[in-house]
Structure 1
Amino acid sequence: MNFKTFAVLALFALSACAGDNKWATDAQMAASGAHFVAEPPRTITLFTVQSTRNGSGAHSGLLINASEQVMFDPAGTWYHPNLPERGDVHYGVSPKMISFYIDYHARETFNVIEQTVVVTPEVAELVKQRAEAYGSVPSAQCAHSVSSILNGVPGFEAISGSWYPNKLMKEFAQLPGATRKLITDNDADNNHGVLMVQAGNAVTQ
């Protein structure tokens, strides 16, 4: 499969918010690099992928900096061969992997909005545990799963059970101390830095 075909398929999958069901083995989870502990403070970051054409929300993802840093990417298509995944939780999420995640989604037709709140270690761990317990997310339920995980967590009272990425993004903005960052990328849809796997190595076009 050539790069252009791969990228077009990835774009379609993103817009469809398709789900899967992956479960890393115990050996993969125990491998070196399978876990990453980020520096404090503990934070919860919401990523919203938004169309540049009409402003509609296409996807929601949740970065959780708890006892280890994980990415909850519900019904998402992003992956890296070195990151074990259980359900829709990716482990070993270093700053470089976060950059890969953003680069995968940001392109000419999609912006990424990054919103972050600082939380206590106890709250961060609770969110992580709830994401791990949620399991694989069916197609088109990314925002609903994220909002369900955050709903009822202390400090996240503004989060309802929304099904829409834009509504979830607006609710997250109401959280005390929430920051916002807009990430844009002028790469075309068929050349937007989608990670490819060749001989076990990830490379970007």
Structure 2
Amino acid sequence: MFRILIACLLAATVAGCAVSKRPQADQAEIVSRSYRDPGPSTLTLYTMINTRSGSGAHTSLMINGSERVIFDPAGSFQADIVPSRDDVLYGITPAVERAYRSSHARETHYARIQTIQVTPQQAEIALQLAKQTGPVAGSFCANSTARLLQQVPGFEQIDVTFFPINLSEQFAELPGVVTEEYRENDDADLQKGLAANNAALNQLDAASSQ
């Protein structure tokens, strides 16, 4: 167990899986930004992977139920137009989703994105579990996501793990999972990516409000 914790702490150091310091949005802001994708109910597992070592650096889960959110435990993503409460990001429009993956994908890391279609009931259970989890401690991103998933009917076989790659491999074994990789070759500094995508989202939001 000690080795597992050390490995996760090292992963957190390079990829931003640390204790969340996001502002807590009020309910009015969350409701005003709420978004529901018109497609089927889905769960999408993001695994941020080091391009050099192949080790997992961060885990998060996008849930498309009655609304679309990202459960980003101990994550680093913040944007002015994206309300957050604890480790749940709200208002995940297509533009926000692109900004999320783009912020994490850079010279040193890429995103493995695995999507599975679920029933509306499964998605709603996952959504409520994400909202109830509360803030997640640093380096517990894969652990908390695995614990959430195994409480969703049909995902009970997911074993709790501290390793993002292990969780990704388990998720890949589920019937119907579609996997893609997203890569960019921009600056290795995560904060620069976050700042650039925040500015782009602000610009898009301002244009849509005119």
| TM-score normalised per structure 1 | 0.85
Structure 2 counterparts to residues 72-151 of structure 1, below 5 A: 72-151=71-150
Alpha-carbon separation, structure 1, partners of 2:134 and 2:14? 19
> Equivalents in 2 of 1:202, 1:15: separation in Å?
26
CA contact (8 A) 2:78 2:194 kept: no
Secondary structure at the residue paired with 1:49? strand
- Judging by fraction of residues, say which structure has more strand: 1
**Alignment map for 1:36-55 (pairs within 5 Å):** 36-55=35-54
SS at match of 1:28: helix
> How many angstroms apart in 2 are the aligned matches of 1:202 and 1:96?
11
Q: Which amino acid aligns with 1:49?
A: M
Q: More helix per residue: 1 or 2?
A: 2
RMSD value over aligned CA atoms? 2.1
Residues 124-163 of structure 1: CA distance to partner in whole angstroms, max 9, x if unpaired? 0000000100011110010001001001322213311111
CA contact (8 A) 1:81 1:202 kept: no
Could you tell me which runs of 5 or more consecutive residues in structure 2 were left unpaired when the two chains were aligned: 1-11, 205-210
Q: Gaps spanning 5+ residues in structure 1: where? A: 1-11
1:28 is aligned to 29
Following superposition, the deviation at residue 79 of structure 1 comes to: 1.2
Report the counterpart of residue 3 of structure 2 in structure 1.
none
Deviation at 1:66, TM superposition (A): 0.3
Show CA shifts across 1:147-185 (max 9, x none).
010013222133111111000000000111011101111
- Number of aligned residue pairs: 189
Structure 1 residues 56, 151: CA separation in 2 closer, same or farther (over 3 Å shift)?
same
Counting aligned pairs with the same residue, the percent is: 38
Distance 1:202 1:146, change over 3 A: farther
Match of 1:111, SS? strand
- 2:59 is aligned with 1:60: yes
Structure 1 SS opposite 2:193: coil
**Contact 1:80-1:202 at 8 Å conserved across structures:** no
Cα separation, partners in 2 of 1:28 and 1:141, compared to 1, 3 Å: same
Counterpart for residue 187 of structure 1:
186
- Name the TM-score, length of structure 2 as normaliser: 0.83
Post-superposition offset of 1:58:
0.2
- Aligned letter for 1:164? F
Residue 201 of structure 1 aligns to a residue whose secondary structure is helix
Structure 1 position 108, deviation (Å): 0.9
The more displaced of 140-149 and 177-186 is 177-186
Give the superposition deviation at 1:14. Answer: 5.7
